[in-house]
């Protein structure tokens, strides 16, 4: 049973609140190791890869490879967003897949913290 722990922004960052909405049964043979949870995507900054309302399976980890999609805490760890991570000469950029949104640049004044890697996206019809 994988918990669905709320929404994550795919647009402007939203306040990070963990509220278990329910659970999704998954066969263990289809899951990676580690601590797993689902987040519901809210917004369209990651479209077309991740549509508004999609469930995103996240594996808890504090780093991802260049180009991977991650759940990230921003604004002092008070807001969460889902973005593609780009590492460029020591600079960390959070890149939306939707070109209508600007990237978020990590700085000392705007620190970011990866909380997990997006593993799978599902959407109900």
Pairing of strands 113-122, 2-9: unpaired
Catalytic positions: 45, 83
Cα dist. 55→16, 23, 26, 75, 91 in Å?
A: 16, 12, 13, 24, 29
The candidate with the shortest Cα–Cα distance to 85, out of 58, 64, 55, is 64
> How many CB atoms lie under 10 A from the CB of residue 93?
16
Asked whether the bond before 48 is cis by omega within 30 degrees of 0, the reply is yes
């Amino acid at each position: 049973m994988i918990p669905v722990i709320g929404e994550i922004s795919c647009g402007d960052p939203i306040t990070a609140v963990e509220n278990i909405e329910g659970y999704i049964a998954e066969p263990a043979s289809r899951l990676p190791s580690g601590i797993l949870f689902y987040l519901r995507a809210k917004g369209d900054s990651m479209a077309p890869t991740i549509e508004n309302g999609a469930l995103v399976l996240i594996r808890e980890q504090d780093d991802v490879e260049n180009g991977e999609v991650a759940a990230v805490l921003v604004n002092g760890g008070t807001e969460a967003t889902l973005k593609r991570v780009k590492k460029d000469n020591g600079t960390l950029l959070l890149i939306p897949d939707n070109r209508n949104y600007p990237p978020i640049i990590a700085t000392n004044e705007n620190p970011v913290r990866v909380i997990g890697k997006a593993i799978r996206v599902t959407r109900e019809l």
